[in-house]
A = this chain, B = another copy of it.
Amino acid sequence: MTPDFATARDVPFYAVIFTSKRTSQGADYTKMAEYMLVLARQQDGYLGIESARNEDGFGISVSYWTTLDAIAQWKKNAEHQIAQDYGKTNWYEHYEVKIARVEKTYGKL
């Protein structure tokens, strides 16, 4: 098993499914993405994250949380920090966020 996987077995828990298309601009993107991860790890209720991105810039990140409240706290924290530190940089052509309650998990372990 690889560290890419965010194995979290006790349902229910919550997932934030973030799909995005990167713009070609945005040199600070990696720094911002790492920073978001640091913030997530510090947040109560964080269970893990899984991320993949195609060469054309389309990517999916799914972060996992114990409660909706933990997600709301992280969002508030992250938005505040991004606004403060990175201004109006436009990293995404388009993005979508879906918040979901994970009800069942299985896999090849």
Q: Residues of A with Cβ closer than 8 Å to B?
A: 1-2, 4-7, 15, 17, 19, 21, 50-55, 58-60, 62, 92-109
A100-B101, A100-B103 are known contacts; what are 7 more A-B pairs with Cβ within 8 Å?
A2-B21, A5-B94, A6-B19, A51-B60, A52-B54, A97-B105, A97-B106
* Chain copies in the assembled complex: 2
Q: Flag if A105 contacts B99 (CB, 8 Å).
A: yes
Q: Flag if A15 contacts B100 (CB, 8 Å).
A: yes
Q: Flag if A98 contacts B105 (CB, 8 Å).
A: yes
User: A101-B101, A105-B98, A105-B99 are known contacts. Are A19 and B5 too (CB-CB below 8 A)?
Assistant: yes
A105 to chain B minimum Cβ distance, whole angstroms, is: 5
